[in-house]
């Protein structure tokens, strides 16, 4: 099996961005070793580009793949194909499953029920708050939250899920070229309890066309796709469309009708997507057995609001969940001094009740 894996990795080094050719190769040869016995003309006839066919037939490609496998092992990454037990069953059933998956973290998480949350890279405070709470609630009830680790909604979904459970990130680059760079810490945090995946070679850069390709993996891993704040031409709508083609549940959080970031999500709802306000709206559409298990758990583990002092409660009540409030405005409304207000805000933040945004702005998390 390991011998075959080297050949799958070799094919993937050439064809990771050519899904159509990868699918034809898989269906025609079944055993990847046979593809390396074919002529360039045979491969071109299957839909490969001339340069791809020549690279597969060139000496040294298999040795290069063996080095990639060795490097992955040294880094602690797992590499699996559709022939491996770790390969997610949900991806086996999509139209164009990845030839190879590189995985950092815990591959067993990929077998657990999951929901994806995707959206704008430049969310509003409303989008941030809704995403964080939704992800935290879903993960807290045992669902794995899947997203693309991009800036904005994706990253917020991962961080929200990490507060109470597990999350999976699917990259548009290789595992050795984390994008965006500021998410390297998030990468490591996700891998501790969840998984980071990529179908692209380890050192593949974050090329623009990689991201629409990885979206089919995000939706493919998920029982449902939830869109939060998406413009008219958002990549999140691509994920939703792919999810629809894969027979996944499509959902969206409604947004402000005057905001361009709400156009995509609101359009999805008008087109028949499930309107999502809370985690219960998502769970309602999941398979019966899973839905009943989660709702039963909810009854047993009813969440309690952390205790607050009267001063903390007064500050908390003055903040909004869908709007940022500057420290100056908070101090002005309070009878306490600046230092006392800052201490109270810190206590609220430590209790997970509020979120601090850059520039000394605050908003409620709950």
Please report, in tens digits, the pLDDT of each residue of the chain (366 residues total): 458 999 999 999 999 999 999 999 999 998 999 999 999 999 999 999 999 999 999 999 999 999 999 999 999 999 999 999 999 999 999 999 999 999 999 999 999 999 999 999 999 999 999 999 999 999 999 999 999 999 999 999 999 999 999 999 999 999 999 999 999 999 999 999 999 999 999 999 999 999 999 999 999 999 999 999 999 888 999 999 999 999 999 999 999 999 999 999 999 999 999 999 999 999 999 999 999 999 887 766 555 678 899 999 999 999 987 788 999 999 999 989 999 999 999 999 888 889 888 889 999 876
Q: State the DSSP string of 265-318.
A: HHHHHHTTPEE-SSHHHHHTTS-HHHHHHHHHHHHHS---PPP--HHHHHHHHT
Count other Cβ atoms within 10 Å, centred on residue 58: 12
Q: 228 is written with which tokens? A: 């939060």
Q: 358 is written with which tokens? A: 């850059």
Q: Provide the pLDDT for residue 301.
A: 56
3-state secondary structure of 181: helix
Q: 353 is written with which tokens? A: 């009740």
Which CA distances in Å does 310 have to 172, 327, 353?
Answer: 47, 19, 15
Q: Provide the pLDDT for residue 302.
A: 52
Distance of alpha carbon 117 from alpha carbon 222, whole angstroms: 10
Q: Provide the pLDDT for residue 56.
A: 95
What is the DSSP-derived secondary structure letter of residue 366?
A: -
Q: Are 153 and 121 in contact (CB under 8 A)?
A: yes
Q: 278 is written with which tokens? A: 């809370």
Model pTM? 0.82
Distance of alpha carbon 71 from alpha carbon 98, whole angstroms: 20
Q: Provide the pLDDT for residue 300.
A: 61
Q: Provide the pLDDT for residue 335.
A: 87
Q: Are 150 and 253 in contact (CB under 8 A)?
A: no
- Residue 59: left if φ>0, alpha if ψ -120 to 50, beta else—which one? beta
Q: Residue 247: which H helix or E strand, with range?
A: none
Q: Provide the pLDDT for residue 212.
A: 95
Distance of alpha carbon 347 from alpha carbon 336, whole angstroms: 15
End-to-end CA distance of the chain: 50
Q: 132 is written with which tokens? A: 């964080």
Taking every pair of C-alpha atoms in the chain, what is the biggest distance, in angstroms? Answer: 81
Q: Are 13 and 7 in contact (CB under 8 A)?
A: no
Task: Give the helix ranges, DSSP H, for the chain.
Answer: 2-15, 19-29, 32-35, 40-45, 50-57, 61-75, 89-92, 125-140, 153-162, 184-193, 210-220, 235-245, 263-270, 279-283, 288-300, 310-317, 327-333, 338-350
Q: Provide the pLDDT for residue 1.
A: 47
């Amino acid at each position: 099996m390991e011998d075959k894996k080297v050949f799958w990795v070799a094919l993937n080094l050439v064809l990771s961005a050519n899904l159509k050719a990868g699918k034809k190769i898989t269906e025609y040869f079944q055993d990847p070793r046979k593809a390396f016995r074919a002529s360039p003309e045979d491969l071109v006839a299957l839909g490969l580009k001339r340069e791809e066919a020549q690279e597969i037939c060139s000496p040294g490609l298999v040795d290069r793949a063996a080095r990639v496998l060795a490097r992955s092992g040294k880094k602690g990454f797992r590499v699996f194909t559709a022939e491996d037990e770790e390969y997610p069953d949900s991806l086996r059933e999509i139209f164009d499953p990845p030839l190879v998956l590189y995985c950092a973290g815990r591959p067993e998480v990929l077998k657990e029920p999951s929901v994806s949350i995707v959206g704008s890279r430049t969310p509003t405070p409303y989008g941030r708050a809704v995403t964080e709470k939704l992800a935290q609630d879903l993960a807290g009830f045992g669902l794995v939250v899947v997203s693309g680790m991009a800036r904005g909604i994706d990253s917020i979904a991962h961080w929200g899920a990490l507060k109470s459970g597990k999350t999976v990130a699917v990259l548009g680059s290789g595992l050795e070229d984390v994008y965006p760079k500021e998410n390297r810490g998030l990468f490591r945090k996700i891998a501790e309890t969840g998984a980071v995946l990529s179908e692209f070679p380890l050192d593949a850069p974050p090329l623009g066309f990689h991201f629409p390709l990885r979206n089919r993996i995000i939706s493919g891993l998920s029982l449902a796709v939830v869109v939060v704040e998406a413009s008219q031409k958002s990549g999140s709508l691509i994920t939703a469309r792919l999810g629809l083609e894969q027979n996944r549940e499509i959902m969206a959080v409604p947004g402000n009708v005057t905001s361009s970031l709400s156009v995509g999500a609101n359009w999805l709802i008008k087109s028949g997507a499930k309107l999502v306000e809370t985690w219960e709206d998502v769970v309602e559409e999941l398979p019966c057995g899973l839905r009943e298990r989660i709702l039963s758990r909810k009854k047993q583990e009813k969440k309690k609001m952390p205790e607050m002092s009267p001063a903390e409660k007064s500050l908390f009540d003055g903040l909004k969940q869908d709007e940022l409030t500057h420290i100056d405005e908070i101090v002005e409304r309070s009878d306490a001094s600046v230092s006392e207000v800052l201490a109270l805000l810190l206590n609220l933040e430590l209790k997970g009740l509020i979120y601090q945004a850059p520039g000394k702005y605050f908003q409620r998390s709950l």
